[in-house]
Chain A
Amino acid sequence: MTVNIRFDPIRLPKICQDLRHEVRDFLHEEEAAGTFDRRENAMGGIFNKEFSRKVGAKGWIGMSWPKKYGGHERTFLERYVVTEEMRVANAPVRGHFTADRQSGPIILKLADEDIKADILPRIAAGECTFCIGMSEPSNGSDLFAARVKATKTDGGWLINGSKIWTSYAHLADYMIALFRTSPCTKENRRHGLTNFLVDLKNFNDIKINPVVNLRGQHEFNEVVFEDTFIPDQYVLGEIDGAWKQATSELAYERSGPERFLETSYVLFELAQVLGKQPDSRAAEGLGRLVAGLHTLRRMSVSVNGMLQAGEEPTIQGSLVKDLGTIWEQELPAKARDLATFVPPGNSNRASFDALLNYGIQVAPKLTIQGGTTEVLRGIIARGLGLR
């Protein structure tokens, strides 16, 4: 068997580059109006409902979904451009991004008609925030060891147990959660888990407790269920069969520009602080960083183009995420070295230092969130036929 990992050199069509300018204009207007500040927002404060509504009004949420559910039937590549422009501007997209990227597509695929008709248009309007309830205190990487229990009762299910590290649960309207509906079987340890839609604002008996990150910020949470009742209608997909879902969505979720642009502000500040005539040492470092970013972006565009063409570039998606998260993680450390000889009195130094220091502290999470490097490499190894 030969391993053939294809990345076609796909270019964004003109319609995408036109859209890019529209998005940039919009972002500049919003900044001018004081909705956000790209430097300040690099360091948190990325949740802004009003901003999400405006993005929804522009038609930039649920871009590829059917019009009947509030979507816009545009291409993955158009969505790609919106995502990357928002990301490099550090725009406050948290209010809608999770729903746009992950939760919406899952609902589209698995939810019943009433729920689709109710929720998808609200997501697309920027009015609905989602969070993801996968990790638990006793299991993170090993998703299939999930324990939070869903017990069948009249007309629905009773949930007991805790999810943890749930980003933005305290601000979210809904969670898509993985609960245990049956024990696993001898033949299949992945059996017995089911996806549920949880209405955080309207279901009773859910407690959301803050967990503070090392920067002192409240981003993630512990979510405790105590006999929480979930009606049958809120089951997503096959009962006990959650493991069968998600193949192409995963490539999509792993390969987006947000997988290598999270600390991009450090690169832009570095270019600023080094000035127009850096010495060879700094120029070399800057050149290598740019080469890495350009290559990642070309790979990522390629994966999204292949998805648009109906292919399932699963291994390519994982490769982009592995290389991308490592690149964005190493960026602050490299920038720190390269700017060493910029004197403290340089007029751009204080600004650079503030964002650099933030980037250094954020760096560790980049290879943990959404699946660790080790887990990702295991997936790649499987794609190579080694497992």
Chain B
Amino acid sequence: MNGSDNIIINTTAKILNDLCDPQTINNSNDEKWKSTLWSALEENGLTRAWVPEEFNGVGADVADGFEILRIAGQFAIPVPIAETLLAGWLLSETGLNVPDGMLSIAPVNQHDTVMLDENDTLTGTAHQIPFGRDVAQVVVLAEKSGQTFLALVNREDCILQQYDSHASEPRDTIEFNRVSPVQCAETKVTRDHLLRMGAAIRCSEMGGALQHILNIAVQYSKEREAFGRPISKFQAVQHNLAQLAGEAAAAVSAASSAADTINSGDGFNDAGFLEIASAKIRAGEAAGKGAAIGHQVHGAIGYTTEHILHRYTQRLWSWRDDFGGESVWAVALGEFVAANGADQLWPTIAAR
């Protein structure tokens, strides 16, 4: 968690500073930056942060992985590092080898189910798969007569329908029609674990993105003049920015608390549920409010493709939906605390 003397985190910041500058990417007419960026991330092991060394990974702390993602959020990262990290984590937890290259995962919501049949082929449909069309392989959690399996499949073997996120990034529908996996094994990982990890991942990214929106909004308010003075001198603008700071702080705090909980091995018990659900709800709320204030402070310029603000706000609108939006987690959290009884509400919170 302490960035300053951590090699992985310093490396992430350096690579992203050099190769993922949002303004440069925004100005570019082609996608050449993408392979350069991805190669740098891959060569430095950042895409395999959650893969143990014996599986040819980096074996970093879970917390370090989340910190990579918070920094990635600060750059509105346009490549599937989060998805590849999560896929690597799923495969490693299951004891399977982790291939190189961009990876995605399925399913990513509580509705879709993929079945593994008696011939060990996969059948089912998974919606909203992030970067589906960009990856060569997808890690799939599948059910077979009450047991859970993890499979690695070639994306080419699947039927793909293209859909886009707010940020015009793939959120594709993938249909598995008796697809034979490249690798497959029974796993102790459940769909609930996958969704919790995915939610916590998006929280870290949202926290980072909100931090950056705060920075550019504060900066812009000092440069932009109206009525003969910098807009930062208007109290209404100051109060908007103060609220934006509060939303960014809440998102980062909730995200880092959830990450810390997963790091200490409590991610998948009741404490982990409170932490991760709360983080996805609160960071999702912060995404909505924070994006709105970011735009308000920037005026019309922020509502253009030339300006980088949209790279952040569009990803916030998309990330808050991924792995279950605020309402999904809030209903589950509300049902959880209600079922435990009113007397347990405070003790549950105070135990964290």
Q: A-side interface residues toward B, CB under 8 Å?
A: 1-3, 5, 7-9, 11, 17, 20, 84-85, 88, 264, 267-269, 271-272, 274-278, 280, 282-288, 290-299, 302, 315-316, 319, 322-323, 374, 376-378, 380-381, 383-387
Contact = CB atoms under 8 A, between A and B. Distances in A.
A84 to B, nearest CB: 7
B300 interface: no
Interface of B: 1, 211, 214-215, 218-219, 221-222, 232-233, 235, 237-239, 241-243, 245-246, 248-250, 252-254, 256-257, 259-260, 274-275, 277-279, 281-282, 285, 326-327, 329-339, 341-342, 345-346, 349-352
Given A5-B248, A9-B257, A287-B331, A377 B232 contact: no
B141 to A, nearest CB: 25
A72 to B, nearest CB: 22
Contacts of A381: 238-239, 241-242
8 contacts: A8-B1, A283-B338, A290-B274, A291-B333, A292-B282, A297-B350, A299-B250, A385-B218
Contacts of B214: 3
B243 A377 contact: yes
| Most chain B C-beta atoms within 10 Å of own C-beta, residue among A85, A277, A284, A287 | A287
| Most chain B C-beta atoms within 10 Å of own C-beta, residue among A5, A85, A298, A322 | A298
Given A9-B256, A381-B239, A290 B245 contact: no
A contact face: mostly helix, strand, loop, or mixed: helix
B341 A387 contact: no
A268 to B, nearest CB: 6
Contacts of B279: 291, 295
Nearest to A2: B215
Given A291-B278, A380-B242, A386-B222, A284 B327 contact: yes
A286 B334 contact: yes
A324 B333 CA distance: 20
B350 A84 contact: yes
**List of 7 A-B pairs having minimum Cβ-Cβ separation, nearest first:** A283-B334, A287-B330, A287-B334, A287-B333, A381-B238, A286-B334, A291-B281
A271 B337 contact: yes
A282 B239 contact: no
Given A268-B345, A275-B338, A384-B245, A287 B281 contact: yes
Contacts of A386: 218, 221-222, 232-233, 237-238, 241
Contacts of B327: 284
A154 B107 CA distance: 82
| Most chain A C-beta atoms within 10 Å of own C-beta, residue among B248, B253, B274, B277 | B253
| Most chain A C-beta atoms within 10 Å of own C-beta, residue among B211, B257, B259, B352 | B257
Contacts of B238: 377-378, 381, 384, 386-387
A386 B245 CA distance: 12
Contacts of A293: 349
Contacts of A277: 335, 338-339
B333 A319 contact: no
B350 A20 contact: yes
| Most chain B C-beta atoms within 10 Å of own C-beta, residue among A272, A275, A286 | A286
Contacts of B1: 8-9
Contacts of A302: 253
B333 A374 contact: no
Contacts of B254: 291, 294-295, 298
Contacts of B259: 9
B334 A290 contact: yes
B342 A294 contact: no
